[in-house]
């Protein structure tokens, strides 16, 4: 019947999958991690490595007042209150625990400062020392190696095996799969004595699947994701009766550059410099048009609605925390100018209008409040006036799928007919739905993956068989 | 193996189900219609009987310029362009055909005037002579009887039978089912030699299912729907691999009254009188706050956002087309006042503000354009000044589910894994998703049901077996 047998079978090797594997192992289970691509880490590896944590040690040090309740409130606001409240509470309450776990257990290194990202009420976002999710994935992989947790590459999930009694007992994979060839690989049946944990991520790169849910997001819209961000794992779960939830909620990132493919290096520049310490203008008008630190959905809507030519502009004071600046300059994603005049000419912005915009914004900075769009101005914010100046051209790209399978507080996948847990099936991370509602806040994805990955791992290890 | 056998098995007996049954019969198929409740007609029977048709005979007569393209454009606008364009085109192009079919084939009687509903560019909405969907359902049932099409009541779908070769070959029902008792009824297996057509409607009254998709819509929010508007049919389809689409898109009706349960008689009063020929004010401010003829979503958002006490107000000139007026007055849903003063006092509206609001609105009417909210003002619109005056208190109620299973242009249900049609499975009406995108326009639901019900019926009758 089965070719291989483990206590816990984890599908996916990003933040959620590896957190699951480590905790399940810690709980005494034998564990295998399945990854369809030729290398582990999925999207997590190429993410910006931003982790939201409420009431964190660094916040205490810096005197920033925060709480899980405030983080949850920010998540509800961005999510248009369509979030599943009980799950949000868990993410918010365990956010700092999850962060501590990465530091104390895995040895992850973070920069000694906090970032404020769009939609957050306060600066609460840690960033890995290398400004990349790989700063977390690598230590996770090291920990897996140290604990002899096998990660099987080119292992494509083709079926979740659910028995007539309702219990999930294992998976069928295509072993030796060569993405994206549907014909490659040979069937291998892997029993999960205790549980299968789905951590297969989102479907931002699955154009067929995403356009069914939202036809606007056709093949012309780029994505920040790696090519493996496709829907097979989610589909396999839906085929055995998992509950789909909010699949049409698909988020675009407002900070991605039109001058490079994917997430690239420019996204982090916009997030850490252009938006908090600069302005976002429409090149055709030279005017600001949105609070640069509002929720992603609001920013993207503002960018797309009038087909704006969006450019983020900052100066030398604004790039202090832009750790990807040099890479951006080298790749031509961010351009540097000695004067605003030069910046305006080379980007086809009407100089007079841009000067008025900057002057007015600088007045807001000196007043300490944004007169036009209510952007929360940071204490260390300076006027845009010190050369050199920097500009990055932006275009929204498909970034995150808020929808997925429904889970309960224990990370168990719920049956579409009974609304009860499917015995033996868990899920964590972007493949789940409902936590982020209509729009996910930046830097909460990693927190979500870590928190629910750990919960799913602990519970799967203890599932009776 | 099977207890009964038909060419076409139709699940659901509303507009979509009966249109399917009649067309499948016309195509030479033996047909059975299954209905879980004790009476046929579902929500269709209690709807307002409003049918949108583009470039219709009455429009020609009245000199109203319209086209399928304009109807489609209006649908895209309300749907935030998240509609499946190919399906919208079919509904728009066949809208007048579908209307003609109800008149010529079924003998449905409509009022000799057209209505303009929120979000429509022009007056294109027919209304049945009795201002109710029963004005269409009854002739449909008569036609079924005449053609010996059996409608089996208390027949609850419990499973769609899909064979390992991928084909749907029939259904299992609970026969003698007593809604909503899960334990009632005995299993009966019905073979569908050619096709099963799912026409089971939406899930507005399925609180568990709808709150999974949108937790805001909890049990405290009322619905306009009949109790049978639950998700079992949709769930049965998802369990055999149908593609779910936009399930979180659930619409509330802005015109429903807080002074009666369900759709009631007030909804039609607001739609035909209060909104087109009156104003919508917040009782706490005495001010208008939204274009009374904007899309439902915009109106509901405006009503809910600030927890307004919404009241629609009109006068004797505005109630000319309000065919439910007498019923509304009798039931106390609409109240009649000799003076605006009296209306203001009894509804706790600050009189001064209300008088200013009405005066300003009347100036808009005399100018021929709405100075404040851009409401499209009808040619026959008169100032609010002729007693008696009328007021109706409103509260948004869950009304329509835009989401459902994905179908193609032939009404075939698509498989979630292959994106290809599931052989032998069709769907029509509210159980399908994607046609209306983020928000459905008023009076397009019946059109959709008729158009795709007829398509599904024709194709199911011709499905090879």
What DSSP assignment string belongs to B213-271? H-TTS-TTS-BSS-TT--SHHHHHHHHTTBPEE-TT-EEEETT-BTTSSSSTTHHHHII
CB-based burial, B334-343: b 16+ in 10 Å, e otherwise: bbbbeebebb
Our CA-based measurement puts residue A240 at a distance from the nearest CA of chain B, in whole angstroms, of 7
| A133 has a chain B CB within 8 A of its CB | no
User: ω before B387 within 30° of 0 (cis)?
Assistant: no
Q: For B201-232, what is each residue's pLDDT tens digit?
A: 999 999 999 999 999 999 999 999 999 999 99
Shared-domain flag, residues A42 and A54: yes
pLDDT at B399 over 90: yes
Q: What is the pLDDT of residue A355?
A: 97
Point out the residue among A239, A248, A434 whose CB comes nearest to the CB of B417. A239
Q: Is A130 left (phi over 0), alpha (psi -120 to 50) or beta?
A: alpha
Q: B321 falls in which pLDDT band (50, 70, 90)?
A: confident
**B interface test, pick of A212, A235, A252, A419 with most B CB neighbours within 10 Å:** A212
Question: Are A233 and A272 found together in one domain?
Answer: no
Q: B84: which chain A residues are within 8 Å (Cβ-Cβ)?
A: 215
What is the spatial distance between Cα B265 and Cα B271, in angstroms, rounded to a whole number? 11
Report the alpha-carbon distance of residue A432 to residue A15 in Å, rounded: 13
Active-site residue among B210, B296, B299, B335? B296
Looking at A360, A378, A395, the residue that finishes a domain is A395
Contact check, Cβ <8 Å, A212/B434: yes
d(CA B370, CA B356): 15
Same domain for A158 and A181: yes
Chain A residue with CA closest to B81: the answer is A216
> What pLDDT score does A182 carry?
82
Contact B248 A243 (CB under 8 A): no
In this predicted model, what pLDDT tens digit does every residue of B229-260 receive, in sequence order? Answer: 999 999 999 999 999 999 999 999 999 999 99
Catalytic residue of the set A296, A297, A335, A458: A296
Residue owning tokens 């007539």: A164
Q: What is the pLDDT of residues B168-200, one digit of tens each?
A: 999 999 999 999 988 899 999 999 999 999 999
Is A189 assigned a catalytic role? no
> Residue B84: which of A215, A239, A243 has the nearest Cβ?
A215
In the block, residue with structure tokens 């069937």: A187
A97 pLDDT band (50/70/90 cuts)?
very high
Strand bridging mode B412-414 / B421-427? antiparallel
CB contact under 8 A, B212 and A406: yes
Q: How much is the average pLDDT of B376-390?
A: 93
> Residue A12's pLDDT band (boundaries 50, 70, 90)?
very high
Q: Does residue B151 carry a pLDDT above 90?
A: yes
Q: Which candidate from A82, A215, A406 shows the least CB-CB separation from B85?
A: A215
Percent of chain A with pLDDT over 90: 96
Residue A379 confidence (pLDDT) above 90: no
CB contact (8 A) between residue A403 and residue B248 = yes
Band of pLDDT at residue A321, cut at 50, 70 and 90: confident
Tell me what the mean pLDDT of segment B4-17 comes to: 98
Give the tens place of pLDDT for each residue, A42-63.
Answer: 999 999 999 999 999 999 999 9
Where a domain ends, among A379, A395, A411? A395
CATH number at residue A455: 3.50.50.60
CATH code: domain of residue B334: 3.90.700.10
Rg, C-alpha atoms of chain A: 22
Query: Is the pLDDT reported for residue B338 higher than 90?
Result: yes
- Whether B246 and chain A come into contact, CB under 8 Å, resolves to yes
- Inform me whether the C-beta atom of residue A235 falls under 8 Å from chain B C-beta atoms: yes
- What's the domain range around A366? 255-395
**Are A247 and B243 an interchain contact pair (Cβ–Cβ within 8 Å)?**
no
- Taking CB atoms and an 8 Å limit, are A246 and B403 in contact across chains? no
- Asked if A75 and A153 sit in the same domain, the reply is yes
A145-187 pLDDT, tens digit per residue, is 999 999 999 999 999 999 999 999 999 999 999 999 888 999 9
Torsion A190-A195-A201-A203 (CA) sign = positive
Phi, psi (degrees; rounded to nearest 5) at B449 = -60, -45
Select from B215, B416, B434 the Cβ nearest to the Cβ of A82. Answer: B215
pLDDT band at A323 (very low <50, low <70, confident <90, very high): confident
Q: Which residues on adjacent β-strands are paired with residue B37?
A: none
- Interface pTM, i.e. ipTM: 0.92
Q: Are residues A439 and A316 in the same domain?
A: no
A212, A243, A434 ranked by CB distance to B406: nearest? A212
Q: What is the mean pLDDT of chain B?
A: 97
- With cut-offs at 50, 70 and 90, classify the pLDDT of residue B379: confident
> Cβ neighbours of residue A117 under 8 Å, at least 6 residues apart?
A50, A52, A125, A271, A276, A293, A441, A442, A443
- CA dist B248 → A280, B204, B303, B401 (Å): 32, 11, 20, 8
Residue A417 with chain B: CB contacts under 8 Å:
235, 239
Tell if the CB–CB gap between B416 and A235 is shorter than 8 Å: yes
Could B82 and A248 be called an inter-chain contact, meaning their C-beta atoms sit closer than 8 Å? yes
**DSSP summary character for residue B431:** G
> Strand pairing partners for A389?
A315, A337
| Exposed/middle/buried for residue A380 (C-beta within 10 Å: 0-12, 13-18, 19+) | exposed
Give me the pLDDT at residue A256, please: 97
B447-462 pLDDT, tens digit each: 999 999 999 999 999 9
How does strand B397-401 pair with strand B412-414? unpaired
Could you tell me the pLDDT band of residue B306, with boundaries at 50, 70 and 90?
Answer: confident
Mean pLDDT for the stretch of residues B367-396? 94
3-state helix/strand/coil string of chain A: CCCEEEEEEEECCCHHHHHHHHHHHHCCCCEEEECCCCCCCHHHHHCCCEEECCCCHHHHHHCCCCCHHHHHHHHHHHCCCCCCHHHHHHHHHCHHHHHHHHHHCCCCCECCCCECCCCCCCCCEEEECCCCCHHHHHHHHHHHHHCCCEEECCEEEEEEEECCCCCEEEEEEEECCCCCCCCCCEEEEEEEEEEEEECCCCCCCCHHHHHHHCCCCCCCCCECCCCCCCCHHHHHHHHCCECEECCCCEEEECCCECCCCCCCCHHHHHHHHHCCCCEEEECCCCEECCCCCCCHHHHHHHHHHCCCCEEEEEECCCCCCCCCHHHHHHCCCEEEECCHHHHHHHCCCCHHHHHHHHHHHHHHHHHCCCCCCCCCCCCCCCCCCCCCEEEEEECCEEEEECCEECECCCCEEEECCCCCEEEEEEECHHHECCCCCCCCCCCHHHHHHHHHHHHHHHHHHCCCC
Collect all residues with Cβ–Cβ distance below 8 Å to B254 and sequence separation of at least 6.
B118, B270, B296, B299, B300, B303, B310, B394, B396
Q: Do B198 and B330 belong together in one domain?
A: no
Helix (H) or strand (E) holding B9: strand B4-11
Give B401-438 pLDDT, tens digit per residue.
Answer: 999 999 999 999 999 999 999 999 999 999 999 999 99
Name the band, by pLDDT with cuts 50, 70 and 90, for residue B305. confident
Q: CB–CB of A68/A92 below 8 Å?
A: yes
- How high is the pLDDT of residue B387? 97
Q: List chain B residues with CB under 8 Å of A249.
A: 248
pLDDT tens digits, one per residue of A208-219: 999 999 999 999
* B408/B284 same-domain check: no
- The A residues from 400 to 439 touching B (CB cutoff 8 Å) are 403, 406, 416-417, 419, 434
Q: Residue B331: helix, strand or coil by DSSP? A: helix
Q: What is the Cα–Cα distance from B136 to B43, expressed in whole angstroms? A: 12
Confidence of residue A409 (pLDDT cuts 50, 70, 90): very high
* Interface residue of B221, B244, B301 to substitute, partner A, most A CBs within 10 Å: B244
A293 vs A65: CA distance, rounded Å: 19
Could you tell me if A173 and A157 are in contact, meaning their C-beta atoms sit under 8 angstroms apart?
yes
pLDDT at res. B404: 98
A204 and A245 part of one domain: yes
Closest-approach residue (CA) in chain A for B85: A215
A10, pLDDT greater than 90: yes
Same domain, A350 and A428: no
pLDDT digits (tens, 9 = 90+) for A279-297: 999 999 999 999 999 999 9
When scoring A81, A85, A213, A241 by the number of chain B Cβ atoms within 10 A, the one with the most, hence best to mutate, is: A213
For residue A307, give every residue at least 6 positions away whose Cβ sits within 8 Å of its Cβ, in sequence order, or none. none
Run of H or E including B391: strand B389-394
> What confidence score (pLDDT) does residue B40 get?
98
**Residue of A215, A237, A402, A421 for testing the chain B interface, max B β-carbons within 10 Å:** A215
Nearest CA in chain B to A416: B235
What angle (nearest 5°) sits at the alpha carbon of residue A398, between those of residues A394 and A399?
95
Using alpha carbons only, what angle is made at residue A154 by residues A153 and A157, rounded to the nearest 5 degrees?
105
Single out the residue of B66, B129, B17 nearest to residue B432, CA to CA: B17
Q: Are residues A59 and A103 in the same domain?
A: yes
Neighbours of A281 (CB within 10 A): 26
Instruction: Name the domain boundary from B395, B417, B451.
Output: B395
The answer to whether the CB atoms of B216 and A81 lie below 8 A apart is yes
Are A379 and A458 in a shared domain? no
> CB of A431 within 8 A of CB of A74?
no
Q: Which of residues 68-107 of A touch B (CB under 8 A)?
A: 81-85
**Cα–Cα distance, B215 to A84 (Å, whole number):** 6
Does one domain contain both B97 and B126? yes
DSSP annotation of B51 reads E
Number of folded domains in chain B? Answer: 2
Q: What percent of chain B has pLDDT over 90?
A: 96
Q: How many CB pairs (< 8 A) connect A and B? A: 72
| Chain A nearest-CA residue for B250 | A246
């Amino acid at each position: 019947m089965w070719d291989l047998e483990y206590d816990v079978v984890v599908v996916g090797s990003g933040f959620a999958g590896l957190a699951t594997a480590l905790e399940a192992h810690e709980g005494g289970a034998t564990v295998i991690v399945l990854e369809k691509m030729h290398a582990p880490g999925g999207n997590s590896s190429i993410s910006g490595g931003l982790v939201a944590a409420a009431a964190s040690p660094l916040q205490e040090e810096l005197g920033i007042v925060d709480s899980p309740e405030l983080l949850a409130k920010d998540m509800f606001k961005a999510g248009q209150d369509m979030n599943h409240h009980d799950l949000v509470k868990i993410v918010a309450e365990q956010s700092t625990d999850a962060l501590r776990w990465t530091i104390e257990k895995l040895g992850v290194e973070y920069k000694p400062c906090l970032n404020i990202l769009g939609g957050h009420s306060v600066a609460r976002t840690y960033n890995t020392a290398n400004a990349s999710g790989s700063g977390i994935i690598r230590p996770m992989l090291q920990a897996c190696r140290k604990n002899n947790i096998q990660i099987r590459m080119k292992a494509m999930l083709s079926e979740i095996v659910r028995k007539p009694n309702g219990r999930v007992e294992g998976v069928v994979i295509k072993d030796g799969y060569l993405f994206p060839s549907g014909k490659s690989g040979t069937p291998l049946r892997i029993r999960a004595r205790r549980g299968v944990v789905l951590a297969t991520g989102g479907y931002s790169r699955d154009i067929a699947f995403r356009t069914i849910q939202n036809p606007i997001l056709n093949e012309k819209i780029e994505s920040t994701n790696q090519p493996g961000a496709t829907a097979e794992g989610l589909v396999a779960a839906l085929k055995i009766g998992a509950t789909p939830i909010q699949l049409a909620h698909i988020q675009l990132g407002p900070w991605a550059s039109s001058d490079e493919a994917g997430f690239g290096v420019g996204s982090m520049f916009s997030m850490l410099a252009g938006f908090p310490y600069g302005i976002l203008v429409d090149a055709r008008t030279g005017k600001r048009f949105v609070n640069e630190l509002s929720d992603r959905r609001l920013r993207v809507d503002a960018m797309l609605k009038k087909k704006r030519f969006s450019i983020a502009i900052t100066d030398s004071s604004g790039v202090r925390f832009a750790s990807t600046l040099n890479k951006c300059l080298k790749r031509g994603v961010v351009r540097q100018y000695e004067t605003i005049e030069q910046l305006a000419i080379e980007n086809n912005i009407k100089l007079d209008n841009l000067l008025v915009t900057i002057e007015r914004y600088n007045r807001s900075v000196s007043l300490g409040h944004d007169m036009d769009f209510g952007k929360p101005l940071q204490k260390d914010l300076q006027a845009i006036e010190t050369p050199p100046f920097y500009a990055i051209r932006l275009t929204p790209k498909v970034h995150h799928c808020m929808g997925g399978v429904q889970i309960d507080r224990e990370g168990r996948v719920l049956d579409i007919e009974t609304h009860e847990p499917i015995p033996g099936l868990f899920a964590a991370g972007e493949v789940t739905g409902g936590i982020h509602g209509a729009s996910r806040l930046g830097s909460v994805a990693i927190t979500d993956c870590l928190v629910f990955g750990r919960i799913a791992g602990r519970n799967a290890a203890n599932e009776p068989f």
